[in-house]
Amino acid sequence: MDHGFVRIAAAVPVGRVADCRYNAGKIAELARMASAEGAAVVVFPELSITAYTCGDLFHQKTLLDAAEKALEWMLSETASLDAAIIAGLPVRLDNQLFNCAVVFKNGKILGVIPKSYIPGYNEFYEERWFAEAVSAISRSVKLCWQEVPFGTDIIFCDRDDPVRCFGVEICEDLWMPLPPSSYQAMAGAVMLFNLSASNETIGKKKYRDSLIRQQSGRCTAAYAYASAGVGESTTDLVFAGHSMITEYSGVVAEGERFSREDNVIFADIDIQRLVAERMKNTGFMEAARGSALKDSDPANGGKGAAVFPGAYRKIMLDIPGAPLDAEGVKGTLRRPLSPRPFVPEDEREREARCREIFSIQTAGLAKRLEHTKLQKSLVAVSGGLDSTLALLVAAETHKMLKRPLKDIIAYTMPGFGTTNHTYSNAVALIGSLGAELREIDIKPACLLHFRDIGHDPGQCDVTYENVQARERTQVLMDAANKEGGLVLGTGDLSELALGWCTYNGDHMSMYSVNCGIPKTLVRYMVKWVADTIPDEKLKNVLYSIADTPISPELLPPDSKGDILQKTEDVVGPYELHDFFLYHAVRYGAPPAKIIYLASVAFKGVYGKDEIKKWLGVFFRRFFSQQFKRSCVPDGPKVGTVSLSPRGDWRMPSDAAAEEWLREPDE
């Protein structure tokens, strides 16, 4: 099963200038390698059959004839391969010479795409040899005894699954204000391929990287780039053989530059993800509709790069899915897959992410305090991760607004499950930050309430737990009225997803500062603050809190006074639930795919049966607990996944989860 992935490759052979037979042999060899690894499409550099730096030799009939003969040989040599091959060569048509990409498979040329924009201002000076695509008169060309489509109005689609569709552009096309690939994407292409010959100068790679990433992001597509390598002439320029594959602005594979060896990179492209993104972004096709209105002649054909999206000729072929059900290396998923998608793996990027989130939280709280003209912030501090982060945000916000830290009233409210460890950490944290500490033992009030509603205090059920949570919330709300303050919510995104909060208890606040942050990231946020502060006492308290098991502490501790009620023993590991949340909500991934991805990401940590079990828990709770999310307090969105009912996630509270629970078994 391919789970919606298609494997593609970008290949950079070490060729020879003007030696078409040698270059064809290299291309065929690397194409065989790519096909054996399960690649559905493999792209080679610009003019890869002749080499890019042939200069005035492009006007020699000998070279042009040799290039076509080399292509004819390759058609026969690669006829049995499953991969579609995209190679570059000069093509004669309409008394002109065009710099072209030729797409072929199973011995048949599927289409020829000319370069749209020909540089005539820099060291390449291609206008000396090649015509722009707009100069073409014909819409087909006879090549290797085949009459084949010619033009920039061509995209290639799978016969059985038309969303598996790709487009092709050449080098300079990407550098233009409106690249052809933008129109190809609007016409349906989710994979874009670029045959390039970009030389190396100081700083050029960085700019080129940004172009590739941005184009894949703008087009909500994968973008595979293969540039001419070290076999090119170095008379005036040096080529490094840069290859790169991006997906929706993220790099999924990159080759080594300046390599003296042939190079092939692979990536499994998540077509389902890209299609889901496009469907959610209802503005994606607005530009296409605009083009349709402006184009009075939809049959514009290949008259340039800006082809009306509806006028593209679709060439049908077989584009197989990634061979993920195969044994060995061939079946290995070829793309980065983090088990913690909300937490950057790179330390410097993670620090920057934490700093950005902290800034968003404090800016949101500062605006709410200024608008309400309330001077004080109230927060319940349990000694756990979430309340710790909320208190840290409050402290930073009060500093920003130049308000005294004593205007933060931090309540510790010991209940039946509070341990000495968390209580001590809460008191030490509040003291280290300089907030006002207030302690209220809620046990007497809870016992009175048990009596009022006729509940046996010895029955430690959901009523026993929720009475404590609601008592704490009542204290905070009433104290806020008395003090003229704002109650800060402490619950995080993961708890919202699972509904792991007491309705009208910790579920409620006046502003929820953590609502956009998943549990796995909250822990890193607390550690990040600990890493960046000079106060050793506060630093040690934060490290201790970060290492404490996650618990609501609503049930009595064990005989040793330690935490007995551990959240992850009940609902499952938060690292799994955050993984499920990311892929289900962000990309709409179906359950079977999520199980596969989690099996890869957590290999050796969780077995498939365990993953399936906790995914069932996730979907059952996610659906049944929507009623809590439908009335959550205001709070800042910090990432691409948010469950606010006012913006990012609008779901009926009585939707059934059966289809999501049934799919993995079917």
Tokens 């003007």 -> residue: 18
Tokens 């200069």 -> residue: 55
> And the tokens for 465?
């737990």
Catalytic residue flag (residue 443):
no
Query: What is the biggest distance separating any 2 CA atoms in the chain, rounded to whole angstroms?
Result: 100
Tokens 């209105």 -> residue: 293
Helix axes 608-624, 574-581, angle to 10 degrees: 70
Catalytic residue flag (residue 26):
no
Out of 165, 171, 446, 501, pick the active-site residue.
171
Out of 20, 54, 100, 115, pick the active-site residue.
115
Three-class SS string for 316-346? EECCCCCCCCCCHHHHCCCCCCCCCCCCCCC
Amino acid at the residue 242: H
Compute CA distances 420 → 146, 384, 426, whole Å: 82, 13, 10
Distance from C-alpha of 124 to C-alpha of 236, rounded to nearest angstrom: 10
Strands 146-149 and 84-93 come out as: unpaired
Tokens 């695509």 -> residue: 133
> And the tokens for 530?
């600990």
What SS3 state is found at 527?
Answer: helix
Strands 511-512 and 485-489 come out as: parallel
> And the tokens for 435?
């907030």
Q: Give the long-range contacts of residues 559-565, CB within 8 A, separation 24 or more.
A: 561/419, 561/420, 562/419, 562/421, 563/417, 563/419, 563/421, 563/422, 564/417, 565/417
Torsion of CA 410, 413, 417, 418, to 10 degrees: 50
Catalytic residue flag (residue 314):
no
Out of 20, 26, 46, 495, pick the active-site residue.
46
Beta bridge partners of 158: 317
Distance from C-alpha of 445 to C-alpha of 33, rounded to nearest angstrom: 73
What SS3 state is found at 643?
Answer: coil
Amino acid at the residue 238: V
Residues 6+ apart with CB under 8 A from 383: 412, 421, 422, 423, 424, 425, 426, 429, 545, 548
Taking Cα atoms as reference points, which of 101, 105, 100, 67 lies closest to residue 85? 105
Distance from C-alpha of 638 to C-alpha of 386, rounded to nearest angstrom: 15
Taking Cα atoms as reference points, which of 203, 223, 201 lies closest to residue 212? 223
Which residues does the annotation mark as catalytic?
Answer: 46, 115, 171
